[in-house]
Amino acid sequence: MEPRGPPLHRPRTPPLAKKLFIKTYGCQMNVYDSERMTDLLAPIGYAVADRPEAADLVILNTCHIREKASEKVYSELGRLRRLKDQRRTKGGNLTLAVAGCVAQADGAEMRRRAPYVDIVMGPQAYHRLPEYVARAERAAAGPAGQAGVGILDTEFPVESKFDHLPAPTRQAAVSTFVSIQEGCDKFCTFCVVPYTRGAEFSRPLQQIVDETRRRVDNGAREVTLLGQNVNAYHGAALDGDANLAELIDALADIDGLARIRYTTSHPRDMDADLIAAHGSCAKLMPFLHLPVQSGSDRILAAMNRQHTAADYHRIVGALRDARPDLALSSDFIVGYPGETDADFEATLDLVRTTVFAQAYSFKYSARPGTPAAALQDQVPEAAKDERLQALQALLNEQQRAASQAIVGRTTEVLLERPGRHQGQLVGRTMWNQPVQANLPPSYQGSLAKLHIDACAANSLDASLPDTTDMRACA
């Protein structure tokens, strides 16, 4: 045997451990995007830090949907500026990046208001993050005193970011998100999304199946398919475009994947195939977030929602025919310009007749550049407050009733992660209600039949059923 010579290649020195902190605002699509940014930055040496003070790079992944959401970003940036200054005085550096929908909508303005931010990039450009971070690091190592590197990318690139994201390799959460569709072409008159996320675009079916399968291999049991208008999905497949029902069908074949959900849907795109899937696909959970915004036909038309209250009732009726135990959730806006007491009453009527298990409601917030912001008849703040209170009282009552209805029953819960207290796991029922239970850690990631003992403030208390219950549910 020949004597061993020196290795031909010296082992590569591992990249220096650097730390990354991402603060995420807004919707679940931003949560997904933040995870993908983490995946993108791992190969250039970034590991996750638990607070900005421990990080070399801080990214704010922002939301522009309401004024409050946007303003939060600027106050957070003020704090980070002080942290960056402190680092500099000690000869160190903190790279600051703003991603997401405020970056997209406000990019140039942000360069003026917060010139110390190094990277400003929109939601469709973040696959270029490693290149931008490397540039910012090089600039920081150069002559001192530079305010910010000044990278601004708010293009809607022709290439899809999804074609440039690394395959997920980290341990997946038990309940994971996969974005399947981006942007929106609906142009509701109050909404910034078509401007911040761009034109509607669907990922190819196989790309989604592959990503979901990988996440299942890495520990996921539930997937929530994401898009701002997810039921408009029409991704390329082998035999032409696939709709959301066909995608759900393909995903249901993945062994080990127990639950499928999707959010958020527009009533206009709730087609017959998708409604039927709620009756035929056992892995599709009996829960649907179907925003309606208002119960007044006049306001729905002014919002450009392209459906009436009667259409909404008809769709909900068909869904409940397909899946009688379907739990519904929705979004509401009160105080849209020109909304009268009678319009608001129509919203309360729609809530009373539909019955929601969960809901989100907001005061209308005028967003720059949207058609509704230019309308003259803005509703006074006091009237918006009053309407929001009345609506939330009704919605809370319905939500409590929905939770109360399963107390005393034994039902399947997917146990997702440890709870806040020692020995506790938290999970969700099929109907998306949060559950907490004292169980050994080995239950994490499993579907367990649990007895729902009580309805607490924000979740249900559950426990393993005693043997009598076990027999009852077998």
Smallest distance from ligand SAH to CB 74, Å = 18
**What kind and span of H or E run contains 30?**
helix 28-41
- Can you read off the two tokens belonging to residue 393? 């009282």
* Residue of 40, 55, 63, 178 that binds ligand F3S (CB under 6 A): 63
Q: Write each residue from 217 to 236 as x if it is in contact with ligand F3S (CB under 6 A), else as -, in one continuous string.
A: -----------x--------
Q: At 33, which amino acid appears?
A: D
Q: Identify the DSSP state of 144.
A: T
Q: Identify the DSSP state of 299.
A: H
Q: Write each residue from 2 to 31 as x if it is in contact with ligand F3S (CB under 6 A), else as -, in one continuous string.
A: ------------------------xx-xx-
Can you name the residues that pair with 20 across neighbouring β-strands?
A: 48, 57
Residues 263-302 that bind ligand SAH (CB under 6 A): 264, 266, 291, 293
Count of Cβ atoms closer than 10 Å to residue 433 Cβ: 23
Closer of 65 and 379 to ligand SF4 (Cβ): 65
Q: Write each residue from 353 to 372 as x if it is in contact with ligand SAH (CB under 6 A), else as -, in one continuous string.
A: ---------x-xx-x-----
Q: How far apart, in whole angstroms, are the C-alpha atoms of residue 461 and residue 458?
A: 10
Residues 374-433 that bind ligand F3S (CB under 6 A): none
Residue 30 interface partner, choices ligand SF4, ligand SAH, ligand F3S, none, CB cut-off 5-8 Å depending on type: ligand F3S
| DSSP output for 83-127 | HHHHHHHTT---EEEEEHHHHHHHHHHHHHH-TT--EEE-TTSGG
Closer of 29 and 140 to ligand SF4 (Cβ): 29
Residue 98 interface partner, choices ligand SAH, ligand SF4, ligand F3S, none, CB cut-off 5-8 Å depending on type: none
Residue 29 interface partner, choices ligand SF4, ligand F3S, ligand SAH, none, CB cut-off 5-8 Å depending on type: ligand F3S
Q: Are 21 and 55 in contact (CB under 8 A)?
A: yes
Residue pointed to by tokens 């979004």:
331
Residues 399-458 that bind ligand SAH (CB under 6 A): none
Residue 362 interface partner, choices ligand F3S, ligand SF4, ligand SAH, none, CB cut-off 5-8 Å depending on type: ligand SAH
Q: How far apart, in whole angstroms, are the C-alpha atoms of residue 457 and residue 228?
A: 29
Can you name the residues that pair with 449 across neighbouring β-strands?
A: 412
Q: Write each residue from 90 to 129 as x if it is in contact with ligand F3S (CB under 6 A), else as -, in one continuous string.
A: ----------xx----------------------------
Q: Which long-range contacts (CB under 8 A, 24 or more apart) does 299-303 make?
A: 299/336, 299/338, 299/339, 299/343, 299/346, 302/189, 302/336, 302/337, 302/338, 302/372, 303/188, 303/189, 303/190, 303/333, 303/336, 303/372
CA distances from 182 to 32, 35, 60, 215, 396 (A): 12, 16, 20, 20, 31
Residue 365 interface partner, choices ligand F3S, ligand SAH, ligand SF4, none, CB cut-off 5-8 Å depending on type: ligand SAH
Residue 187 interface partner, choices ligand SF4, ligand SAH, ligand F3S, none, CB cut-off 5-8 Å depending on type: ligand SF4
- Residues that bind ligand SF4 in the complex, under the rule CB under 6 A: 184, 186-188, 191, 193-194, 228-229, 266
Residues 169-208 that bind ligand F3S (CB under 6 A): 192-193, 196-197
Smallest distance from ligand F3S to CB 177, Å = 12
Residue 333 interface partner, choices ligand F3S, ligand SAH, ligand SF4, none, CB cut-off 5-8 Å depending on type: ligand SAH
Smallest distance from ligand SF4 to CB 66, Å = 12
Can you name the residues that pair with 438 across neighbouring β-strands?
A: 424
| DSSP output for 169-191 | -SPPPSEEEEE-EE--S---TT-
Closer of 49 and 394 to ligand SAH (Cβ): 394
CA distances from 162 to 40, 69, 184, 208, 418 (A): 12, 26, 17, 10, 31
Residues 185-204 that bind ligand SAH (CB under 6 A): 190-191, 193
Closer of 40 and 188 to ligand SF4 (Cβ): 188
Closer of 192 and 402 to ligand SF4 (Cβ): 192
Q: How far apart, in whole angstroms, are the C-alpha atoms of residue 375 and residue 98?
A: 31
Smallest distance from ligand SAH to CB 237, Å = 24
Q: Give phi and psi for 334, each to the nearest 5.
A: -105, 150
**250: Cβ contacts below 8 Å, ≥ 6 apart:** 205, 209, 242
Q: Which stretch binds ligand F3S (CB under 6 A): 37-45, 60-68, 300-308, 425-433?
A: 60-68
- Can you read off the two tokens belonging to residue 31? 């949560």
Binding footprint of ligand SAH on the chain (CB under 6 A):
65-66, 190-191, 193, 228-229, 264, 266, 291, 293, 331, 333, 362, 364-365, 367
